Amino acid sequence: MSKKISLGIAIALVLLTAAASVAITMSVSTGIYNKLIADLPGRAQMYSNMQELDELVRKEYYGKIEDNFLNSEISAGYIKGLNDVNSKYMTAEQYNDYKADLYGTTSSIGIKPALDTESGSIYIVYVYNNSPAKSSGLQSGDRITAIENEAVTKDNYSSMVAKLQGTALSSVNITYQRDGATQTVNVVKTKICQTVFYQNFGTTGYIRISDFYKATPDELAKAISALSKEGAKNLILDVRGTKTGLTEYAAEALDKLVPLASEGIGAVAKIENASGEVIETFTSDAIDCALPMAVLTNSETSGPAELFACDLRDFGKAQIIGVKTNGTGTMSKIFELKDGSAVLLTIGKITPYKSECYDGNGISPDYEVSLSKNINFELLQTADDEQLQFAINLFSNNSQQNNQGL
């Protein structure tokens, strides 16, 4: 049997339901508001100060204001105000250059340069395989003394190195010295990038990783394969001075060397944000490299390279030789802005496979071996590189002990 209710009661029920909905909505909104309100006074003050400054400058400044330049400098200043050396703002042009390096689309003659502090010239550390530089006869150890008839000095070193890069298929005149003789060649630039360099010292394979870019993991795998075919029985992985690249590519490179991460945190690395929340995890598969390894580090080994060295030791794959690393145990991520510019921003701390986070502390070596101060290891001959020689001798001694044990 149906029961009818009066119009007044029906209206009251509707109003009660509406009131409950409003109350719930207000409760949720208040919670969100309370989380934001603490930041509002500071942010309001910041915006007010910026507006006051802008009005003052536009009214009183004598010179001409270039708004595009001013806006990019304001953005750069904001990131600089974080007081974090690992975060940076990039203009659209700078970001394009950064992406070209990261993804291997940079056009250059194909060399790894270093500053020769004594002469001020460009020292050629490595010549890329299949590069215009190699085709033109340039070799490791050559010193570039002039580019387009302009002498290379300590003061203009960076700008002169930049002239070795540029538009694909354009060319550049290079004057270099080798064994006391001076020669000049014209070298064409092409799209080429190499981050892994290798050679054999007897049965010891040496691999230098200069950056952790997108192509690095595959380059590393090819280097290990080539060295193994040439008879390498152990590997030296050199990440001295290596500081550029992204954590994700270091993790991919590690995956070429280590087995499935099943102990420790169960991953090659995990990333935690400021709230302690795990925002990213890097894993590995069961395929690994069975060759004994050593890793060379110095005080400029930083960021992704530190994770690489730390995890190889955590997995029991390698010992570390050199000096304590830089201590940058945070991960950075790229955020592209609407105008084509971008921010490389620190988003969390890195926890390696087994070790504690090394941020601010660095990674201590198993064998501490120092080079003389103010010596660039990249300019050293193999026989004069004490850290490299220590690693080679370590493998040699271990091999002798194993043979005697047999």
* 179, 262: one domain: no
Among residues 24, 40, 59, the one where a domain terminates is 59
H or E element: which one contains 205?
Answer: strand 204-209
Is residue 82 in some structural domain?
no
Q: How confident is the model at residue 23 (pLDDT cuts 50, 70, 90)?
A: very low
Mean pLDDT of 50-70: 91
Residue 220 CB-half CA count within 13 A: 28
Q: What percent of the chain has pLDDT over 90?
A: 79
Cβ proximity of 321 and 237 under 8 Å: no
Which amino acid would we find at residue 23?
A: A
In terms of Cβ atoms closer than 10 Å to its own Cβ (0-12, 13-18, 19+), residue 334 is middle
Burial 182-193 (b: 16+ CB within 10 A, else e): eeebebebbebb
Average pLDDT of the residues of the chain: 89
* 225, 172: one domain: no
Is residue 69 in some structural domain?
no
Q: Can you give the CATH number for the domain in which 348 is found?
A: 3.90.226.10
H or E element: which one contains 251?
Answer: helix 247-255
Alpha-carbon span 175 to 124, nearest angstrom: 12
Is residue 99 in some structural domain?
no
Sheet with 196-201: list strands edge to edge. 196-201, 204-209, 234-238, 293-297, 318-322, 367-368
* 153, 167: one domain: yes
Is residue 20 in some structural domain?
yes
* 256, 283: one domain: yes
Name the more confident of 273 and 17: 273
> How confident is the model at residue 21, as a pLDDT?
47
Q: What is the pTM of this model?
A: 0.85
Task: Indicate the SS3 state at residue 112.
Answer: strand
* 229, 181: one domain: no
* 154, 206: one domain: no
Among residues 159, 176, 191, the one where a domain terminates is 191
Q: How confident is the model at residue 38 (pLDDT cuts 50, 70, 90)?
A: low
Decide the pairing of beta strands 88-90 and 107-108.
unpaired
Distances 228 to 64, 199, 202, 291 between C-alpha atoms, Å: 63, 11, 12, 9
* 355, 293: one domain: yes
Task: Indicate the SS3 state at residue 184.
Answer: strand
Is residue 98 in some structural domain?
no
Instruction: Give the list of residues 6+ apart from residue 399 with CB closer than 8 angstroms, or none.
Output: 203, 233
> How confident is the model at residue 284, as a pLDDT?
97
In terms of Cβ atoms closer than 10 Å to its own Cβ (0-12, 13-18, 19+), residue 19 is exposed
Task: Indicate the SS3 state at residue 52.
Answer: helix
Mean pLDDT of 380-406: 81
Give how far the C-alpha of residue 287 lies from the chain's centroid of Cα atoms, to the nearest Å. 25
Handedness of CA 161, 164, 167, 172 (dihedral sign): positive
Angle at 30 between CA 26 and CA 34, to 5 degrees: 175
* 129, 262: one domain: no
Residue 74 has pLDDT above 80, yes or no: yes
Mean pLDDT of 46-52: 87
> How confident is the model at residue 396, as a pLDDT?
85
pLDDT tens digits for 213-269? 999 999 999 999 999 999 999 999 999 999 999 999 999 999 999 999 999 999 999
Cβ proximity of 321 and 367 under 8 Å: yes
Q: Can you give the CATH number for the domain in which 154 is found?
A: 2.30.42.10
Mean pLDDT of 300-324: 98
- Boundaries of domain holding 206: 196-405
> How confident is the model at residue 37, as a pLDDT?
52
> How confident is the model at residue 367, as a pLDDT?
98
Among residues 191, 213, 243, the one where a domain terminates is 191
Residue 227 CB-half CA count within 13 A: 27
> How confident is the model at residue 372, as a pLDDT?
84
Rg, Å, the chain Cα set: 28
Q: Which of 238, 172, 169 is nearest to 161 (CA)?
A: 172
In terms of Cβ atoms closer than 10 Å to its own Cβ (0-12, 13-18, 19+), residue 24 is exposed
H or E element: which one contains 29?
Answer: helix 7-37
Is residue 344 in some structural domain?
yes
Mean pLDDT of 114-119: 92
> How confident is the model at residue 44, as a pLDDT?
82
Name the more confident of 20 and 129: 129
Cβ proximity of 254 and 285 under 8 Å: no
Strand pairing partners for 269?
Answer: 282, 352
* 30, 116: one domain: no
Mean pLDDT of 305-318: 98
pLDDT tens digits for 140-182? 999 999 999 999 999 999 999 999 998 888 999 999 999 999 9
Residue 2 has pLDDT above 60, yes or no: no
Is residue 67 in some structural domain?
no
Structure tokens that stand for 335 in this block: 């955020």
Alpha-carbon span 192 to 11, nearest angstrom: 76
| Number of structural domains found in the chain | 3
* 218, 364: one domain: yes
Give how far the C-alpha of residue 315 lies from the chain's centroid of Cα atoms, to the nearest Å. 22
pLDDT tens digits for 121-138? 999 999 998 999 999 999
> How confident is the model at residue 3, as a pLDDT?
44
Q: How confident is the model at residue 359 (pLDDT cuts 50, 70, 90)?
A: very high
> How confident is the model at residue 39, as a pLDDT?
66
> How confident is the model at residue 160, as a pLDDT?
96
Q: Which of 199, 217, 213 is nearest to 242 (CA)?
A: 213
Structure tokens that stand for 192 in this block: 């080429």
Phi then psi for residue 42, to 5 deg, are -65, -40
* 351, 307: one domain: yes
Residue 87 has pLDDT above 60, yes or no: yes
Is residue 202 in some structural domain?
yes
* 259, 301: one domain: yes
